[in-house]
Amino acid sequence: MGHRHYNGVKTAALFGLMWAALLAIGWLLGGGTAQYVLLFAGLGLVMTAVSYWKSDTIAIKAMRARPVSEAEQPAMYRIVRELSTAARQPMPRLYVSPTAAPNAFATGRSPAKAAVCCTEGILGILDERELRGVLGHELMHVYNRDILTSSVAAAIAGVITSLAQVAFWFGGDRERSNPLGGLLLVLLAPLAATVIQLAISRTREFDADEDGASLTGDPLALASALRKLESGTKARPLPQERELVDVSHLMIANPFKAEGMAKMFSTHPPMAERIARLEAQAGTIGGITRY
């Protein structure tokens, strides 16, 4: 619970930094007035609402996933039914994506509207215990409302970038602002917003790992699955197409090649660190509160 409390505070602090960057650029662009801040903040809220409301449709379409019956995927249904019952939450819809790249994701604006998807690749490399660990992780993304969190972070980052572009081309009130300071703010704010968005995503992954392992009572199962996913995604990375990039933060493992600068801008924390945390959690399994 200590880690989880810390992660919650960290997420709130990161959101505070994003809003500070948004206000600063809006203030610069408006020449010391709040009109641009209010305009772009309103636009950001609209973008967030649309992204959040359609999150399940967007992700499922991007992965070309299809709904599956219990007869087709009895293990998925059995595991998800057991875990959702244990968590006292409704059963989500289950999907399978035809891609050979091993991965899984959950989406949906609420537990009642949730969907969980596994790729054919992940179903082919995990045993049932490891699959249970992965599905526990994905369910906790839904229960922790991480889809809303990621949607808001992405929308605010997008607004900051748009504001910075407008400020770069049209500027603010030159008589009231420091030109050099304004230029630095315009250039650095979008980068800072992206880094903060990534930090929020990584924080939520740690929470889903910890809470999912608590739900299943088996941290080492998820750790074992992550080891397989690390090698599996390296061997079969997804193409960096726009629609896949937009939903990649939902997946349990980074689906793209993480080399060089790409590692710095990954939406997922390093697998080695995630596995180490799960192994440490397994050492205190007796103290974990089950749902």
**Which residue numbers belong to the known binding site for Zn(2+)?**
137, 141, 205
In the annotated binding site, the residues are: 137, 141, 205
Q: 230 vs 103, 187, 219, 274, 275, CA distance in Å?
A: 10, 34, 17, 11, 11
**Bridge partners of 66?**
96
Query: With contact defined as beta carbons under 8 Å apart, do 132 and 79 qualify?
Result: yes
User: Whose CA is closest to 249, among 188, 208, 192?
Assistant: 208
What are the structure tokens assigned to 115, written together?
Answer: 């969907």
- H-only helix segments in the chain: 2-29, 35-53, 55-62, 74-86, 120-125, 128-143, 146-170, 179-216, 219-235, 242-247, 261-264, 271-282
**259 catalytic, yes or no?**
no
Catalytic residue among 138, 210, 243, 273: 138
Neighbour count for residue 237 (Cβ, 10 Å): 15
**Catalytic residue numbers?**
138
